[in-house]
Structures are given as C-alpha cells and as structure tokens.
C-alpha cells in the first residue's frame, strides 16, 4: 500500500518537453510552444493568431484588474464579510430595461446537451435531438494542447458540415444528420492561462484563445448555416462580477467590428455559477444586454463557490455533497431569482445539469436514475426555466418530454412565467446555510471520486462516468473543497452515529483505504498504467493545503503542459 505521507510531499512534477522540426507561422510577439501538427497549423494561421494577439493586447490589463478584484473580494469574505447586492447598482436592478430580442434561431432551447469538444461526441451531440449542443472547452475538457487544438479542428469541421468520424473498432462511420442542434461554445474561465501560446512574453488568456480561434474560423459559416444571420453563440463560465461581463461584451464588440458584422450578432448565455454572481445577475445582463441570450444555473460550480466563498466561515460547513441539491433553500432561491431576473429582461433562464447518466447493465437502477432526472426537470420547468441541460443523449427524450408537456406549445416561458414572487428573495435566502449531516461515507466518496476524476483529467478526459454519475471539473471541485473545509475546521461527522472529527490522521487513513479500493475496482493493470498515484498526490495536497487554492485545475494544469520544442520551465 502506498503511504499517505508520500502524497504530502511537495509537487515535483516537471513540464514534459518534446522536440520537433516544424514550426508555425506566427505574427510579431507571438510564440507557439505546443506540438506542431499540419492540421493544427490550419487553425493557428498567422491571421488567426494576429486576431487572438489583438484581443490579448487590448484586454489583458482589464482581465488582470478583474482578477485583482476577485482577490480583494476574497479577502473581504475571508475577513468575515458576506457577498450581497451592490448598493451602487440598485438603479440597474430596479430599472426598466430589456435585453435585445432573442434571435429566432435560439428561441427554443428546451433541452441542451453538453459535452467536450471531442470529435465523435460532437457528432453525436449535434445529432442527438437536443435543441442546442454546448461544446465545452471548460468543465468537461482537460485543456491539453492536443484536446484544445483538436477541439478547434472538430468545431471548424462541424460548422462547415463536413465533420465525420470513423470508429475503426466498430467499423462505424459518424456523420451529421440533416437536422442538428444549434451550436454554443463554452470557452475556459478568465483565470486559466494557455501555456502553449505566448503573447509578448506572457502566456495567453485561455478563454481568448478558445473564443478567438473559434470566432475567427467560423463566424461567417455559422451565421449562414446555423444562426439565421446571428451568431456565433457562446456560454460564458465562472464569472463573479459584472465587470467581467463588461470585458466579454467589449471582446464581442471588437470581434464584430473586425468581422464587419452587426453589433449584437454574437449572443451568449452566462452561467451563474459563483456565489458572488447571484447578486450581480441584473448587472451582468445589463453589461451584455446587446449580446445576451440569458443566464444558466451552473449548480455544481455554484456549490463549489459556496464553500470557496465561505472558506473562512466555520459556521457554514456543508453537509455531505449528495445532500446539497436544488431543494436546499439557498439553491432553490438562486434558481427562482435567476428565472425572475431573466424573464424581467426578456431572455432565457436555463436550468442546470442533473448528474445522473444512463445505467446500461441494470434496468431497475436505470429507471430510478431516469426518474430522478425527470423529477429534477419537472421542478425546473414548473419553476419557469425555459430549458435544461442533459449530460448524455440517453436522457434527452425524458427531459424533452417533461419540458414539452409543461410548456403549452410555447418555445419558451420568457413572457408567461415572470415569477414576480421571487423578486422579494433576500440576501439571507440566497446565503441560507445548507441543511444535512456529514458522514464518513461522504468523506470517503469525495476522496474516491476526486482522485479518480483527477487521474482521468491528467490523462486527457475532462468528463467521466463514476458510480453512475457524470463527474467533471465542477463536481470534482466540490469534493476537493469540501474535504479541505472539513479538515480545516475538524468537522464532526455527525450523520452516521460515529461522531468522529475529521483530522489529518483520519484523512490519511481514508486516502490509503480509498486508494486500495480504487485499485480493486479498476484492476491492478489499469491502476498501474493510469495516473492514480499522481492524482492522489495532487488531490491530497490540495485538501490539506494551509491556504485553499482557488482552482484545482490551475494547479493540475502544470502537469499537462507539454512544451515543444525544448523550451523553458514552469509558468
Ligand atoms: C457541471 C457542468 O459543467 S455539466 C457540463 C459539462 N459536463 C459534460 O458536458 C458531461 C457530458 N457527458 C459526458 O461527457 C459523458 O456522457 C460521460 C463521460 C458522463 C459518460 O460517457 P460514456 O461513458 O462514454 O457514455 P456511454 O458509454 O453511455 O455513451 C454512449 C454513447 O453516447 C455518446 N455520448 C455520451 N455522452 C455524450 C454527450 N454528452 N454528447 C454526445 N454524445 C455522448 C457516446 O459518445 C457513445 O456514443 P456511441 O454509442 O456512438 O459510441
Ligand atoms: O457548468 C455548470 C456547472 O454546474 O458548474
Ligand atoms: Mg461549471
């Protein structure tokens, strides 16, 4: 058995380096340190890189400032402050303004499928019968150079309508149907660098690379074939404040001007998935009012953010992860207020992701999982959500049926479900402590899932099925910060009658036992070949760090950066 102590040693991964002959044709001030590939070079053209560099140069100081503001807010919360509505922007919350009308192309979004920008999954998602496919560079993607660049190639081919995939093992060819879902793209969050593209000596901002390359290559085709004159369409993740939405709005305006298309062509849905952002929903929509198609309840990151925001508030420890669902008062209040806010300003209020996925080998368990999804979707549509997310094509018929049966033939509920009752929700409603118990099994599950997810992420898979649930970066974050919080404050595991307090000794035993269990479950061979030990080390270090890291993936990213040709060290 590998001992717990070995996982507490400092992280000594080094960047992997490869060498090669070919190079990209780059504009002044741009350096590419990712592997050369002739396919990638059709994405990383000189003009496309110039476009990304222009975005980076114009917006980098604004992004740095916004990240500094996040740090200041964190200090306020760590000193006992609570997030709340900003008195300075009351006029926006109470004003009678509207977002630009929703384009016809995306009026009906009752079921949206999500998934990483992987070739076969893109085809399956576009063919799935969902109204929208959100192609993900974020929670569902491990942002290796290969994944990101292949993702751009795949999306270009998807927008061109030429994408195909040959599954050699099954001798099956995948192609697009005549009718496909509308494509939205989710770039990474503001905090993630792209360590393979340097601009003026600094790593580029990950989301500007994702957005810039996709927009550059696809805006014209997309508007012709998908957007009925609008587009491209985006999902924007992990914002905390409307100043971050203002940067996106300015990025969109710059891109529209560069492309010579009308202001308001690009449309985006913002995920409300941080606790501070729930107090900024009007302000975020206001900043993006020419470019908005609504808000979405990113419930998993939201739970993660609740813990992160209250990391210095031991009176707000979460119960077991499985107990923090949408029926908790603070979660229901967030969803209700989001619906009211979106519909007041004339845009979609999208629901979130149920974590259940189909269970192939057990019909009874499968039906039980489907029933949980149906229940979650029924709650969403009855509350007034205009649509929802599905993690897997097998869930789409059930989600579609629930929404269709409860929407009276309308494409959305924007004008029929105003939810005026939710306008009275207060800061206390939005912050109310979650109820429930903490258990040893909760600690074990967090550990088992967190390590297995990270092991997959380090080997290139950003979303995985674990114990019949979808796990991605957001759900793994909950496991990490919850363990950290319980350890930091010696939380009592009061739910299983044991009454033990979480401490380093207990956690050490849990890590060792869960690693042994993972090895049994996945088999010795896979365990040896996989990156479970590296993942365990990372996860353990993160859970036991004296100061909570802002993002698991920022730390883990250093392990998947592969510079080429032989080049300098860490970020
Ligand atoms: C918190 C958030 O941010 S949620 C949004 C981000 N997360 C996601 O997008 C997760 C999306 N879902 C997934 O990645 C996958 O469904 C997983 C990893 C959870 C499960 O994947 P698998 O184990 O491969 O599923 P399974 O084996 O049942 O797949 C069956 C078929 O459905 C396809 N499929 C599964 N999920 C998806 C999807 N989301 N989009 C498109 N196709 C999919 C598979 O490609 C496979 O196709 P095939 O039969 O042609 O080979
Ligand atoms: O991105 C979605 C979430 O729930 O997090
Ligand atoms: Mg998220």
pLDDT tens track for 263-305: 999 999 999 999 999 999 999 999 999 999 999 999 999 999 9
Q: Which ligand has an atom closest to residue 167 CA?
A: 1
Among 186, 223, 438, 448, which one carries the catalytic annotation? 186
Confidence grade of residue 15 (pLDDT, cut at 50, 70, 90): very low
Which pLDDT belongs to residue 16?
Answer: 41
- Rounded Cα–Cα distance for residues 404 and 410 (Å): 9
Whether residue 70 lies inside any domain: the answer is yes
- Rounded Cα–Cα distance for residues 11 and 559 (Å): 10
Q: How far is CA 281 from CA 158, 442, 485, 533, in A?
A: 32, 32, 28, 41
The percent helix, strand, coil of the chain (3-state, each to 5) is 50, 15, 35
Which pLDDT belongs to residue 496?
Answer: 85
Answer whether 59 contacts ligand 1 (Cβ < 6 A). Answer: no
Last-in-domain residue among 262, 285, 317? 317
Whether residue 565 lies inside any domain: the answer is no
Whether residue 460 lies inside any domain: the answer is yes
Which pLDDT belongs to residue 9?
Answer: 45
Residue 335, pLDDT > 70, answer: yes
Whether residue 276 lies inside any domain: the answer is yes
The overall pTM is greater than 0.90:
yes
Q: Are strands 172-175 and 164-167 parallel, antiparallel or unpaired?
A: antiparallel
Residue 323, pLDDT > 90, answer: yes
Last-in-domain residue among 262, 294, 317? 317
- Residue 86 bears catalytic tag: no
Q: Atom 29, ligand 1: which residue's CA is nearest?
A: 392
Cα(138) to centroid of ligand 3, in Å? 8
Last-in-domain residue among 317, 334, 361? 317
Q: What is the CATH number of the domain that holds 283?
A: 3.20.20.360
Confidence grade of residue 251 (pLDDT, cut at 50, 70, 90): very high
> Ligand 2, closest atom to CA 299?
4
Cα(478) to centroid of ligand 1, in Å? 21
Q: What is the pLDDT of residues 202-225, one digit of tens each?
A: 999 999 999 999 999 999 999 999
Confidence grade of residue 157 (pLDDT, cut at 50, 70, 90): very high
CB 136 within 8 A of CB 115: yes
Whether residue 369 lies inside any domain: the answer is no
Whether residue 163 lies inside any domain: the answer is yes
Residue 287 lies in domain: 47-317
Assess whether 311 and 445 both reside in one domain.
no
Q: How far is CA 194 from CA 68, 144, 319, in A?
A: 19, 9, 35
Residue from 139, 296, 303 to probe ligand 2 pocket by mutation (most atoms less than 8 Å from CB): 139
Confidence grade of residue 3 (pLDDT, cut at 50, 70, 90): low
Identify the burial level of 307 via C-beta atoms within 10 angstroms of its C-beta, where 0-12 means exposed, 13-18 middle and 19 or more buried.
buried
Assess whether 444 and 313 both reside in one domain.
no
Assess whether 309 and 452 both reside in one domain.
no
- Residue 321 bears catalytic tag: no
- Spatial CB neighbours of 170, under 8 Å, sequence gap ≥ 6: none
Cα(5) to centroid of ligand 3, in Å? 32
In the chain, the number of structural domains is 2
Answer whether 474 contacts ligand 2 (Cβ < 6 A). Answer: yes
Which pLDDT belongs to residue 158?
Answer: 98
Rounded to an integer, the average pLDDT of 83-91 is 98
> What average pLDDT does the structure give for the chain?
94
Whether residue 426 lies inside any domain: the answer is no
> Ligand 2, closest atom to CA 475?
5
Q: Atom 1, ligand 2: which residue's CA is nearest?
A: 298
Q: What is the CATH number of the domain that holds 538?
A: 1.20.1220.12
Assess whether 296 and 149 both reside in one domain.
yes
Answer whether 450 contacts ligand 2 (Cβ < 6 A). Answer: no
Assess whether 312 and 445 both reside in one domain.
no
Cα(450) to centroid of ligand 1, in Å? 19
Q: How far is CA 295 from CA 209, 268, 337, 343, in A?
A: 23, 9, 11, 10
Q: What is the pLDDT of residues 51-77, one digit of tens each?
A: 999 999 999 999 999 999 999 999 999
Query: Is the complex ipTM more than 0.95?
Result: yes
Answer whether 495 contacts ligand 1 (Cβ < 6 A). Answer: no
Any idea what DSSP says for residue 260?
Answer: T
Whether residue 429 lies inside any domain: the answer is no
Buried b (16+ CB within 10 A) or exposed e, 117-155: bbbbbbbbbbbbebbbbbbbbbbbbbbbbebbbbbbbbb
Answer whether 134 contacts ligand 1 (Cβ < 6 A). Answer: no
């Amino acid at each position: 058995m590998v001992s717990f102590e070995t996982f507490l040693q400092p992280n000594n991964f080094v960047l992997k380096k490869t060498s090669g002959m070919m190079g990209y044709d780059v504009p002044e001030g741009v350096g590419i340190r990712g592997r050369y590939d002739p396919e990638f070079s059709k994405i990383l053209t000189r003009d496309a890189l110039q476009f990304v560099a222009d975005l980076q140069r114009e917006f980098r100081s604004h992004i740095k400032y916004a990240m500094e503001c996040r740090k200041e807010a964190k200090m306020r919360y760590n000193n006992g402050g609570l997030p709340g509505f900003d008195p300075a922007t009351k006029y926006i919350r109470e004003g009678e303004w509207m977002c630009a009308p929703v384009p016809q192309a995306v009026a009906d979004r009752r079921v949206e499928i999500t998934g990483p920008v992987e070739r076969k999954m893109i085809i399956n998602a576009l063919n799935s019968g969902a109204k929208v496919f959100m192609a993900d560079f974020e929670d569902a993607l491990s942002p290796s150079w290969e994944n990101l660049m292949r993702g751009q190639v795949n999306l270009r081919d998807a927008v061109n309508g030429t994408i195909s995939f040959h599954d050699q093992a099954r001798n099956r060819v995948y192609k697009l149907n005549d009718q496909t879902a509308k494509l939205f793209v989710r770039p990474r969050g503001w905090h993630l660098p792209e360590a393979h593209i340097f601009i003026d000596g600094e790593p580029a901002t990950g989301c500007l690379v994702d957005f810039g390359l996709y927009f550059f290559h696809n805006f014209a085709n997309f508007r012709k074939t998908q957007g009925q004159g609008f587009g491209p369409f985006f999902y924007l993740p992990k914002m905390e404040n409307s100043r971050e939405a203002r940067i996106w709005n300015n990025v969109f305006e710059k891109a529209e001007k560069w492309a010579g298309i009308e202001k308001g062509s690009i449309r985006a849905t913002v995920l409300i998935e941080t606790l501070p952002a729930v107090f900024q929903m009007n302000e975020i929509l206001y900043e993006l009012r020419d470019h908005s198609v609504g808000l979405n309840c990113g419930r998993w990151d939201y739970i993660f953010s609740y813990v992160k925001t209250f990391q210095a508030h031991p009176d707000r420890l979460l119960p077991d992860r499985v107990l923090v669902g949408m029926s908790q008062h603070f979660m229901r209040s967030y969803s209700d207020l989001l619906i009211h806010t979106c519909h007041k300003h004339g845009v979609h209020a999208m629901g979130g992701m149920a974590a259940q996925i189909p269970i192939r080998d057990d019909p009874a368990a499968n039906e039980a999982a489907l029933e949980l999804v149906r229940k979650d979707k029924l709650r969403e549509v009855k509350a007034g959500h205009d649509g929802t997310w599905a993690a897997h094509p097998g869930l789409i018929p059930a989600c579609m049926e629930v929404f269709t049966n409860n929407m009276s033939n309308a494409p959305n509920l924007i004008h029929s479900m105003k939810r005026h009752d939710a306008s009275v929700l207060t800061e206390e409603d939005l912050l109310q402590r979650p109820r429930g118990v903490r258990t040893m099994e909760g600690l074990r599950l967090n550990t088992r899932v967190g390590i297995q997810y990270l092991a997959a992420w380090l080997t290139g898979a950003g979303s995985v099925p674990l114990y019949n649930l979808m796990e991605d970066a957001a759900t793994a974050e909950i496991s990490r910060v919850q363990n950290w919080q319980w350890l930091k404050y010696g939380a009592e595991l009061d739910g299983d009658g044991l009454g033990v307090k979480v401490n380093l000794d207990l956690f050490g035993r849990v890590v060792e036992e869960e690693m042994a269990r993972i090895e049994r479950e996945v088999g010795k061979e896979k365990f040896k070949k996989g990156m479970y030990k590296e993942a365990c080390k990372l996860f353990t270090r993160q859970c036991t760090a004296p100061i909570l890291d802002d993002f698991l993936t920022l730390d883990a990213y250093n392990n998947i950066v592969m510079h080429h040709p032989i080049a300098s060290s860490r970020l």
